[in-house]
A and B are shown apart, each in its own frame.
Chain A
Amino acid sequence: MAKTETSAPETQTTSAAVPFTRMAALAPAVAWLIPGAGHLMQKKWIRGLLIMACVAAMFSFGLAMEGKIYQPNTGDLLDILGFIGDFGSGALYILGRIFEWGGANITTANADYGTKYIVVAGLLNIMAAVDAYHIAIGKKQ
C-alpha cells in the first residue's frame, strides 16, 4: 500500500517532465521524411534551413561522386548498416530508389567517398530528427 503511494507521484513527475504532445510525435517523423522540416515547423528557421542544406548537399555530392545507394538486404553486416544509414535520409532515399540514382558498384575511391557521403547524410538527418524531438518536448530551446 505504502509502495503504491510513493510510486504514484514519481510517475507524475516523470510524465510532467516529458510531455508527449502532437508536435513531439510529428516533429521527428517530418524531420526524417524532409531533412530540416522538423526544425522549420517549430519556427527554428535558420537551423532548419542549415540542416536541410547540409543533408541535401551531402546526399547530392554523394550521388555526384557516383556513390552507391544501398537496398534493403540481409547479407553482409556493412551492407545492412549502409542501408540503415541511407534510409535515414527519408524522402531523398525514397527518391533515390524510385529513380535508381547512384552508382551500381563502388569501383573508385571517389565512388567510395560518395557512398560514405550518402550514408552520413542519412545519419546526420537522424540526429537532426532527434534534435527536433528534443525541441518539441521542451528539452532544448
Chain B
Amino acid sequence: MILALQLSHFSAAALFALFFSIVFGITQRNDPKEMLKYGAYCFVVAMAGMFLAGWAMWGLHH
C-alpha cells in the first residue's frame, strides 16, 4: 500500500475513542443534548481507562 500511516499508541487510541464516542452518543441516547453528554462521557471514560491501563502495564513491567 502506498500510504502507510504511522500513529503512536496514544494517538491511535485517542482517535479510536473519538470515533466510537460519537457513534455511541448518537445511537445510545434520544435527545441531542443527552447524545452530546453521553458521547463526551464515553470519550472521557475511554481516555481515563487508557491512562489507567497504561500505568497498570507499566507497574506490572517494573
Contact = CB atoms under 8 A, between A and B. Distances in A.
Interface in B5-59: 5-7, 9, 12, 15-16, 19-20, 22-24, 26-27, 30-31
Interface residues of B, number: 19
| The 5 residue pairs across chains A and B that have the minimum distance between CB atoms | A64-B5, A131-B27, A124-B23, A54-B19, A113-B12
Interface in A98-115: 101-103, 109-110, 113-114
B19 A57 contact: yes
A113 B26 contact: no
Interface residues of A, number: 30
Interface string A45-58: 00100110011011
A65 B26 contact: no
Contacts of A113: 7, 12, 16
B4 interface: yes
B3 interface: yes
B11 to A, nearest CB: 10
A130 interface: yes
A140 interface: yes
A80 interface: no
Given A61-B15, A130-B27, A141-B30, A66 B20 contact: no
B1 interface: yes
5 contacts: A50-B23, A58-B19, A61-B15, A64-B4, A127-B23
